[in-house]
Structure 1
């Protein structure tokens, strides 16, 4: 949704009114759905999905009367554009606004906790999604040395409900970060089952 609105703003078809700022901020920080649902009603699910397809992302994100859908690969591509400031994220002030909001969103028990447990001082700018037994987290992770990577973890089932999958996401994050970026990365086998 942010990518589409940024693109609309670049085209002169969206502006940062007080109402839009409030709704956008709540959409990212609180994961509130009212603002995004209003935008879907305003622009139309088909228009939004066509935009996603044009970007090379998952093309059936928005469907009238259904929950939003995507793939981990699509989120990875979107975050790559965001991190690089390409595509709909070319406007530096909009990009900075989004990254700042992602850095302080309320649901921090997934990727942010796992990344910090793997390496203290790691920061994460992420966006979560959750509904029923689905818990997802997608973020840009910055290690203390400035190295960055993109991580997307999507979970469902496993008898999780509400936010109960986020501790699992934290564990996955911690293990991935230690394996790929830890002090012993590539030098020996580490037992992460403990």
Structure 2
């Protein structure tokens, strides 16, 4: 009789796994059909942090990072602060002169290409490292990003990604290094790797519990909310970082449901003919993921 119950339990578990797999396959197919309505290439990585359930589309393909690389830079800032290299409350002068990784020649950022133009009023003044990090994330300031990359080093941020298990994220340089851009020396990400680092952040395992909580608080204040949060109910909170350049709309973060559950979602795109349509379809996909967890 005991063996009968064991077999029945195993069969029950197997049936549950198969039912979940079928459900995931249906959702994946529906998402792929939705994405096919817009011209462009897409990648997606989803992980339910309660059940471990995942859904992947082209998760290991490299995409232009755009501003999603600013999350690795933030992690490196907090890591070096914890190591005692500086305090987050320390101030540094905001400058607009940076060295190309190609030949060391100087370049400056163009205010018209930056979403955070208020930062340019700060040139020549001092800002705390924390405030620069905050501006880098919530309004995606390119100027703050380059000042911080000069401080912590792109190579160090890249090495920290490897320690976290993100083997394919490439943090090579600051923003608007046009010589590097022309040579194809770009920051790149995969949906899978961004999922990994946001999962570790959600688990408060990045740098320290306190640092993880501080970084999540910054990500909660994100001002660009059209994509992952775009079509979600107002009581759903998202700690996330977007990224956009011509033909590219990315978003990556942790979604917190009112009942305490949370999941990680990363959506990447490239070769978008119509960026507005790209944002719209990715917001709809985000809603499809959310809806799938409501029963």
TM-score class, shorter: 0.7 to 0.9
Q: Compared with structure 1, are the counterparts of its residues 80 and 60 closer, same or farther at alpha carbon in structure 2 (3 Å cutoff)?
A: closer
Is the counterpart of residue 3 in structure 1 residue 75 in structure 2? yes
**Following TM superposition, by how much is the alpha carbon of 1:140 offset from its aligned partner in structure 2, in angstroms?**
0.7
1:122-148 C-alpha deviation (Å, 9 max, x unpaired): 111111111111111111111121111
Q: 1:61 aligns with which of 170, 183, 186?
A: 170
Contact 1:76 1:150 (C-alpha < 8 Å) held by counterparts? yes
TM-score, normalised with respect to structure 1? 0.81
1:51-100 C-alpha deviation (Å, 9 max, x unpaired): 22122113552224344211111111111111111132x141x3333222
Is the counterpart of residue 182 in structure 1 residue 291 in structure 2? no
Contact 1:114 1:169 (C-alpha < 8 Å) held by counterparts? no
- DSSP 3-state at the match of 1:31: coil
Partner of 1:99: 216
Partner of 2:246: 132
**RMSD over aligned Cα, in angstroms?**
1.9
Contact 2:237 2:256 (C-alpha < 8 Å) held by counterparts? yes
Is the counterpart of residue 108 in structure 1 residue 225 in structure 2? yes
- Rg (Cα) greater in structure: 2
**Separation in structure 2 between the aligned mates of residue 45 and residue 139 of structure 1, nearest angstrom:** 21
**Separation in structure 2 between the aligned mates of residue 43 and residue 3 of structure 1, nearest angstrom:** 10
**Separation in structure 2 between the aligned mates of residue 137 and residue 175 of structure 1, nearest angstrom:** 16
- DSSP 3-state at the match of 1:21: helix
**Separation in structure 2 between the aligned mates of residue 126 and residue 5 of structure 1, nearest angstrom:** 17
**Following TM superposition, by how much is the alpha carbon of 1:49 offset from its aligned partner in structure 2, in angstroms?**
1.6
Greater shift, 58-67 or 2-11, is seen at: 58-67
1:25-69 C-alpha deviation (Å, 9 max, x unpaired): 111110112222223233433332222212211355222434421
**Following TM superposition, by how much is the alpha carbon of 1:164 offset from its aligned partner in structure 2, in angstroms?**
5.4
**Separation in structure 2 between the aligned mates of residue 86 and residue 156 of structure 1, nearest angstrom:** 31
Is the counterpart of residue 76 in structure 1 residue 195 in structure 2? yes
Return the structure number with greater strand share. 2
**Separation in structure 1 between the aligned mates of residue 253 and residue 279 of structure 2, nearest angstrom:** 13
Is the counterpart of residue 39 in structure 1 residue 158 in structure 2? no
Is the counterpart of residue 155 in structure 1 residue 269 in structure 2? yes
Q: 2:131 aligns with which of 7, 22, 31?
A: 22
Equivalent residue pairs, number: 176
Q: Compared with structure 1, are the counterparts of its residues 11 and 132 closer, same or farther at alpha carbon in structure 2 (3 Å cutoff)?
A: same
**Separation in structure 2 between the aligned mates of residue 26 and residue 143 of structure 1, nearest angstrom:** 26
Contact 1:58 1:71 (C-alpha < 8 Å) held by counterparts? no
